[in-house]
């Protein structure tokens, strides 16, 4: 079983600090990396793939510096970049076979893995079609498949569910759960329900710093007694919007309800409700949800 250890990693772009002294230990399981746009998720993931060299600090895999490991490390690694580009003239099958060969698989294994993974991402029926004509979600699924070709022990997926329809996203969560049983999976996402159901651990990144890390349940427990559903008149709505962070506004039978974060009940009619990850996101990252 592999472990990754991030030791005081910082990344600077000029004088801009994109990552600040990140300390992290990752083992088996699914880790969800959450943070607003520009928080440093992609930067951290690129450093973990050894595509980007940290300005300070280092990353160890089972105690060895990943940069010094070179090809040995890449053999353990599968990576889906955020901006996964494809060769439009390749067919899905041709592309996966090509990448498999680049990863050092022999012809027979490349064919077998390609067929297996096309099936996993449900593109077997489109295997002979050119990637240039694929939809965004189909392309993304080819990206997921190519990351798995070498049966990697470490899987790093930068927004893997971006562009997937709800049905495919739900299917992908099942795949993630399976993959996380015997390997290290790190994924970033802005879709909070992905994390809620698929991640064993959530890592919260804000402005280049880790500000929280725990299981989704443990993180949500911190919000017990702090989330309220409040029926409001238009005037109360305007007043409360200024006073408390609001994670949702809904209407039911002609009544408007605000979902508010507050240590004490915001009004006498407030009802305590169970926190969800959207509340948590608001709690950690302020009022803007992506
Ligand atoms: N090559 C670069 N040169 C200068 N600044 C960069 C470079 N790459 C990233 N940055 C900056 O570093 C910060 C972190 O970027 P990063 O791509 O890691 O964010 P992210 O968390 O992945 O965001 P998103 O959710 O939008 O994908 C951003 O402010 C970005 O503008
Ligand atoms: Mg990113």
**Domain with 108 in it: what CATH number?**
3.40.50.300
Strands, E, within the chain: which ranges? 4-13, 16-26, 29-34, 56-61, 64-65, 77-80, 154-158, 184-188, 201-206, 209-214, 227-232, 246-252, 255-261, 271-272
Residue 288 has a pLDDT of: 44
Residues 61 and 229: beta-carbon distance below 8 Å: no
Same domain, 152 and 138: yes
Same domain, 58 and 185: yes
Same domain, 12 and 123: yes
Same domain, 146 and 187: yes
Number of domains in the chain: 2
Residues 213-229: what's their mean pLDDT? 95
- 233 vs 14: CA distance, rounded Å: 50
Confidence check: pLDDT of 145 > 90: yes
pLDDT in tens, 54-77: 999 999 999 999 999 999 999 999
Residue 290 has a pLDDT of: 36
Nearest to 154 by CA among 183, 175, 189, 117: 183
Same domain, 112 and 232: no
Nearest to 142 by CA among 108, 101, 96, 176: 96
Q: For residue 239, how far is its CA from the centre of ligand 2 (angstroms)?
A: 36
Residue-number span of the structural domain to which 167 is assigned? 4-220
Q: For residue 206, how far is its CA from the centre of ligand 2 (angstroms)?
A: 13
* HSE-up of residue 121 (Cα within 13 Å, Cβ side): 27
Same domain, 197 and 251: no
- 287 vs 290: CA distance, rounded Å: 10
Residues 234-248: what's their mean pLDDT? 93
Residue 287 has a pLDDT of: 53
264 φ/ψ angles, rounded to the nearest 5 degrees: -115, 160
Residues with CB under 6 A from ligand 1: 13, 16, 18, 35, 37-43, 82
Confidence check: pLDDT of 83 > 90: no
Q: For residue 157, how far is its CA from the centre of ligand 1 (angstroms)?
A: 16
CA angle 183, 187, 188 (to 5 degrees): 165
Confidence check: pLDDT of 284 > 70: yes
């Amino acid at each position: 079983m592999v472990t990754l250890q991030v030791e005081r990693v910082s990344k600077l772009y000029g004088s801009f600090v994109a990552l600040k002294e990140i300390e992290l230990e990752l083992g088996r399981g699914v880790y969800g990396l959450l943070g607003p746009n520009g928080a440093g998720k992609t930067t951290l993931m690129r450093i973990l793939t050894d595509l980007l060299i940290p300005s300070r600090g280092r990353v160890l895999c089972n105690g060895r510096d990943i940069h010094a490991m070179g090809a040995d490390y890449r053999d353990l690694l599968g990576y889906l970049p955020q901006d996964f580009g494809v060769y439009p003239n390749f067919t899905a099958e041709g592309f996966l076979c090509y990448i498999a060969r680049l990863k050092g698989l022999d012809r027979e294994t490349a064919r077998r893995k390609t067929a297996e993974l096309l099936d996993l991402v449900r593109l077997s029926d489109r295997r002979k079609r050119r990637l240039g004509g694929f939809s965004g979600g189909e392309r993304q699924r080819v990206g997921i498949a190519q990351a798995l070709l070498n049966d990697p022990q470490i899987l790093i997926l930068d927004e893997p569910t971006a562009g997937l329809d709800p049905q495919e996203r739900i299917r992908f969560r099942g795949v993630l759960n399976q993959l996380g049983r015997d390997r290290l999976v790190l994924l970033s996402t802005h879709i909070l329900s992905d994390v809620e159901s698929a991640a064993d651990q959530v890592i919260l990144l804000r402005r280049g710093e880790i500000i929280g890390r725990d299981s989704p349940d443990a993180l949500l427990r911190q919000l017990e007694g702090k989330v309220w559903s409040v029926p409001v008149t238009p005037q109360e709505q305007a007043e409360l919007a200024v006073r408390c962070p609001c994670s949702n506004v809904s209407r039911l039978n002609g009544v408007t309800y605000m979902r508010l974060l507050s240590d004490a009940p915001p009004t006498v009619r407030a009802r305590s409700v169970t926190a969800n990850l959207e509340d948590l996101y608001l709690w950690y990252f302020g009022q803007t949800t992506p």
